[in-house]
Amino acid sequence: MPLFQRKNSKLLPIKEKPFALEKELQILTEENLGEIFGLELISSEFALQSLRIDTLAFNLETKSFVIIEYKREQGFTVVDQGFTYLSLLLNNQAEFVLEYNMHMRTNLQKKDFDWSQTRIIFLSRSFTTYQQGAINFRDLPIELWEVKRYSNSSILYEQIKAGGGSASVNTFSASKKIQSVSKEVKTFTEEEYMQSKSKGKGREIYGELKERLSIIDPNLIPHPTRTYIAFRLPNNWRNIINCAIYRDKLRVDFTRSKPRDFKDPEKKVKYMQNSPEYFNQHISYIELGHEKELDYALFLIQQAYKRFLKNNN
C-alpha cells in the first residue's frame, strides 16, 4: 500500500529510499537497539573462529543472547545460516560470556544465562517468498525483519510473521547441526507452556483471564517463553503483563511498574524485590487464587494498559 504525506489539501507520495550499504543499517540499528528491540548492545563485528557476527545483543529480561545479521542480497538461506550462528554460540559459550562480562562489567558464569532462549534476527530490505516460507515452523528460533527507509526520513521495522505452521523443523531436516541446536534452543508455544504446568487453579484462572483480556484490547497477543506468557501489542517488543502459572495460583507481573503507579485501594499490588538488578526494570505483581479475584485484577491491568499506551505514543 502506498504511503502519502499530507501537504495542505494534497497527498504527496512518500518514496522509499533504500539503504545503500549494510553498514548504514547496522549503525542505525545498533544505536537504537533499545527502542527497536528492547536489547542491549554487547559487541559489533564480533569475530570468532571463521565467522563474524554483525551485532551481538542481549535480552536482559530473558537473560539470553540475540544475534543480528544484516543482508542486502536475497540469495542466502535463512535456516542454514541461522543455525550456523546458533551452533557457533552454543559451542563457544565461554567466549560469549567473556564478551558479555567485558561489556557489562560483570562476572557472570555460563549457568547465569538462559541459552534455551537464544535467538537470531535477520534484517533486510525484503525477503523472498522462499525465505519467508522457510521460517514456517513452530519451533524456529529465527526472526525475519524488513527495514524500509523513506524520503521523509521515516524508518519502518516490520517483522515477517511465520505462517502459523505446526510442524517442527526437526521433522524436515536430518542436519546434525539443526538437531543439536534444537535440543538446547527452544521456541515455546502457548500450548507447550500450558502442558508443562500441572492442572489446577492456575491454569483455570489463566484461561479465563486471557478470554477477558480481549475486553481491554482484542489485539493483545500472547508471547510464551520458558517461564511465563507475556502479552504484547502487534509489532511491539514491550510486554504489558507477564502471566506465570502455578498449580494453585496465577501470578500477573506488571512490567516497568511500581505499586505506587496503581490506584489500588485493596493494596494487592506487591513489588518484586531486586527486579532492576535481575530484569533491568521495576516489576510489580499480583497473585490470583480464585476466579472471583479477576474483576479486581482486570481493574489493575486496565491501568497498566493505559499507562503503556501513554508512554509509547
Q: Given a cut of 70, is residue 164 above it in pLDDT?
A: no
CATH number at residue 292: 3.90.1150
Instruction: Write the secondary structure of 116-176 as one string of H (helix), E (strand) and C (coil).
Output: HHCEEEEEECCCCHHHHHCCCCCCCCEEEEEEEEECCCCEEEEEECCCCCCCCHHHCCCCH
Say whether both 90 and 232 belong to one domain. no
Query: Looking at residue 165, what is its pLDDT?
Result: 60
Confidence of residue 207 (pLDDT cuts 50, 70, 90): very high
**Structural domains of the chain, count:** 2
Confidence of residue 166 (pLDDT cuts 50, 70, 90): low
Confidence of residue 264 (pLDDT cuts 50, 70, 90): very high
Confidence of residue 163 (pLDDT cuts 50, 70, 90): low
| Structural domain contains residue 1 | no
Where in the sequence is the domain holding 227, given as residue range(s)?
190-311
Confidence of residue 121 (pLDDT cuts 50, 70, 90): very high
| Structural domain contains residue 25 | yes
Beta bridge mates, 148? 156
Question: Which of 184, 211, 245 finishes a domain?
Answer: 184
| pLDDT, tens only, 221-244 | 999 988 899 999 987 888 999 999
Least confident of 10-14, 148-152, 178-182, 214-218: 178-182
Average pLDDT, the chain: 89
Say whether both 140 and 88 belong to one domain. yes
Query: Looking at residue 73, what is its pLDDT?
Result: 76
Task: Tell me the mean pLDDT in the region 184-198.
Answer: 82
Question: Which of 184, 210, 242 finishes a domain?
Answer: 184
Nearest Cα residue to 67 out of 98, 162, 84, 102: 84
Residue 234 has φ and ψ, to the nearest 5°, of -55, 140
| pLDDT, tens only, 9-48 | 888 888 888 888 889 999 999 999 999 999 999 999 999 9
Q: Given a cut of 90, is residue 251 above it in pLDDT?
A: yes
Task: Tell me the mean pLDDT in the region 52-79.
Answer: 89
Least confident of 38-42, 144-148, 174-178, 220-224: 174-178
Nearest Cα residue to 120 out of 152, 163, 88, 167: 88
Using alpha carbons only, give the angle 113, 85, 161 rounded to the nearest 5 degrees: 90
Query: Looking at residue 168, what is its pLDDT?
Result: 67
Say whether both 132 and 268 belong to one domain. no
Q: Are 114 and 86 in contact (CB under 8 A)?
A: no
Say whether both 138 and 218 belong to one domain. no
| Structural domain contains residue 274 | yes
Query: Looking at residue 1, what is its pLDDT?
Result: 67
Least confident of 162-171, 239-248, 269-278: 162-171
46 by Cβ neighbours in 10 Å (0-12 / 13-18 / 19+) ranks as: middle
Confidence of residue 171 (pLDDT cuts 50, 70, 90): low
Distances (CA, A) of 294 to 179, 230, 251, 290, 297: 42, 17, 12, 8, 5
Task: Tell me the mean pLDDT in the region 135-140.
Answer: 77
Confidence of residue 183 (pLDDT cuts 50, 70, 90): confident
Alpha-carbon dihedral sign for residues 31, 37, 41, 45: negative
Query: Looking at residue 178, what is its pLDDT?
Result: 76
Say whether both 157 and 295 belong to one domain. no
Say whether both 245 and 125 belong to one domain. no
Provide the grid cell at 224. Answer: 510464551
Q: Given a cut of 80, is residue 283 above it in pLDDT?
A: yes
Say whether both 149 and 171 belong to one domain. yes
